Chains A and B, each alone.
Chain A
Amino acid sequence: MSEAESVELREFRDIVDACIDIVVLVQGRTVHARDFWAYVAIPPGRYGDFKAAEASGQYRLNDWGRILRHGAGRRPPAQVHEEMARIYGANSAFEEDLDAILAD
């Protein structure tokens, strides 16, 4: 239906984006060839575009969400991992767990 519905869906998405973050662990290399890791909070409405940007190659992580913690190296230290779990409920097996639920 149309225009009214699409406007409503946009409003709904704005509310969802304001209320929900998808917390993502990003691991890779910077343009300066340095390994990095980062926990990023991405609004759900931008997650798809973020994945597309990531797949396409070079991008600026800051453009896609709020960087919660980051550092050099390939893996976050245990203390950061624990902190993310405590504050945001971060679970490194989140996607696997979700797949398991769907397959159950």
Chain B
Amino acid sequence: MLFNKDGINSTAIRLFLICILTGSIMSSLFSTKKNTVSWLYLLLLTVISAYSGTFNFFDDNKQVFVLFVLFIVFLKGQKIVDIFMELIEAPKLWRRLLLGYVILLPVIIACIYLL
């Protein structure tokens, strides 16, 4: 489904490449290795999540597909909370509140879809 609209597909590929290039430059300029690695990890997970349905990774097994996509949501959320929001260096209560959100919400949504 994602591959049917060529114009905007090529735009997405260009944007992705621009992101990689600018990130490499910024990383070398500002020595932000931790942020850059997290950002590349987030981009990779986003692409995997978006294309997992198109490439039918799970042989039309909707339940596994939903769990997979929601697990990726948790992985991405954890990275944003800990690295971008810098809550890894914050008091435990606040880190737990935000991490609880990115764990609980996907779990609730998974329960709604699967039960």
Q: Do A and B bind each other?
A: no
Residues of B within 8 A of A (CB): none
